[in-house]
Structure formats: structure tokens, C-alpha cells
Amino acid sequence: MQFQNLLASGCSFTQDAIGGIPPTSKTPGGCSFIDDPEYPAAPCRSWASFLSRWLNVTSFANFAGGGHGIVYTKKTIIDALEKYNYHPNNTLVIFNITSPGRFDLFCDWDSEYKSSMVYWDQTHFDYTVIEKYSPPWKDEFSKLSVDEINQRSIDALSELFTYLKTNNYQFVFTVMAEFTNIPNLPLVHKYSDHMVTFGSYQGMYEYAKANNLLLSDDLHPTTEAHKQFAKFAYDFIQKKAR
């Protein structure tokens, strides 16, 4: 199946700038990772970017933000699908599921505490995200227990799965790391036919670590790891389309 649009979100395991232009009623959008007569293709640094090139999409938008969580992922994907000219018959949604212990808090663009890890701007959404560990973030975070934050994330993931299924969007997802316990959740098992795995590994981190493909921080995958993630995802997508 030929997809016209690719929409991505997640955390730093998917992030690679905005990646292009979402489709509108007036323009089909654009993709920064495909050669254009006027502009050379940008270098790919994320599995999502490699996929946009290999799928040869017209429009690619990547709303992933480093350090942000599942609530962020859910909100950016659903808001983008609602705002822009995406249709279930020409759009593929991809995302990574990050740690459920991450806490997301949203704010206006004029906030002095807005996140520095977000590559989209006011033209995309009329809100942004509070910087992790900033005073207002700490204040709200302190009001919740670990269990409440985890449940908030799982509820958001359930809402995202339900939205995509109810509206007939095609989607695939990856899991940032097995140590987050995400692969063991009944909710993830329910949608496992949409989950990209990496040989015998379910987590991106575990695959990269086993293959010596982590950066010096010993957490984030290298560009070569992302290219391999994209190959697994591309083959998975082609198999599902048959």
C-alpha cells in the first residue's frame, strides 16, 4: 500500500525535528527527507525519518519530543489528525511508547517554562509543553503518586489506541524499552498485531544495547540503530499491507 502521509510522535527514540509539513486542504504538505529539485534531502537520524524516505511519502510530520511521555504522544497525534488534512485511507501513524512514569504538563507559548525539546511551533498547535523539572512542573508532579502518573499514561495510551481503531487509521508502534514493563501490559498485548519488534527483542533500547549500537550516554540508539529499526518497521508494514 502506498501511503501519502506519515505522522509520527513519541519521545527522543523517535525525535528528529519536525520532518516536513502536515497536509492541509490547500497543500499536500512536504517531507524533508526526500530529494526535491530545489532542496537536497535532509539526513535521517530517526527510524521515523528513514521510514518517511523509504515509504516515499508526500507529507511527513514528526511531533516527537525528547523526555516527554505517553500523554504527550497521545495528545499530539490526535490533535494533528483532527487539525490537518489526514484521512484513514492515505495516512500511516507511527509512534514509540515511552516510559509510563513520565509526566506531561501543557502550557501556552508565552510561558517562560516552555520545553526546549519541542520542534513544532505556534503554527502547528496553540499550546506547547512545560519543561521537565521546571518549578510549575515540579509543583504539579508533587501532587501525584507514582501509581497515579503511571495510570494517567496507560489511560492515555488506551485513548490513543481506541481513537486510531475507531477512526480506521492504520498505525504501527514500537516500545522504547522492555525495562519500562510496557510489553507486559494487557493493553499492549491487545494491540500486539501493530507492534514492531526487533528479532528476539521487543524494546528498541535492548536491541541497540545487544548490538553495541548505543550512544555514549548508554541509553539512546545510534543512527545506525535507527536505520535498523526502520528496516524492521518497513518490513512489518509491507507484510501487514499484503
Q: How far is CA 171 from CA 8, 22, 117, in A?
A: 10, 17, 24
Nearest to 31 by CA among 55, 47, 11: 55
Q: What is the mean pLDDT of residues 41-60?
A: 97
Cell of 56: 516515499
The yes/no answer on whether domain 5-100+161-241 falls in CATH 3.90.960.10 is no
C-alpha cell at 43: 539526513
pLDDT over 80 (residue 242): no
Where b means 16+ CB within 10 Å and e means fewer, 190-205 reads ebeebbbbbeebbbbb
Residue 114: HSE in the Cβ half-sphere, 13 Å Cα cutoff: 14
pLDDT at site 197: 97
Please state, rounded to an integer, the average pLDDT across all residues of the chain: 96
Q: What percentage of residues in the chain have a pLDDT greater than 90?
A: 94
DSSP string, 206-221: HHHHHTT-B-TTSSSB
93: helix, strand or coil: strand
pLDDT score of 36 more than 90: no
Cell numbers placing 78 = 490526535
Handedness of CA 132, 227, 235, 120 (dihedral sign): positive
pLDDT(240) > 90: no
* pLDDT of 196: 98
Mean pLDDT of 198-220: 97
Confidence of residue 126 (pLDDT cuts 50, 70, 90): very high
Is a pLDDT exceeding 80 seen at residue 17? yes
- Interatomic CA distance for residues 127 and 123, integer angstroms: 10
Mind listing the pLDDT tens digit for each residue in 188-203? 999 999 999 999 999 9
Which is it for strands 170-175 and 91-97: parallel, antiparallel or unpaired?
parallel
Q: Give domain limits for the chain.
A: 5-100+161-241
pLDDT band at 37 (very low <50, low <70, confident <90, very high): confident
What is the pLDDT, as a whole number, of residue 241?
67
Confidence of residue 162 (pLDDT cuts 50, 70, 90): very high
Question: What is the spatial distance between Cα 78 and Cα 86, in angstroms, rounded to a whole number?
Answer: 11
| pTM more than 0.85 | yes
What residues are paired with 106 via a beta bridge?
129
- pLDDT tens column, 91-125: 999 999 999 999 999 999 999 999 999 999 999 99
d(CA 226, CA 47): 5
Question: Rounded to an integer, what distance in angstroms lies between the CA atom of residue 75 and that of residue 159?
Answer: 10
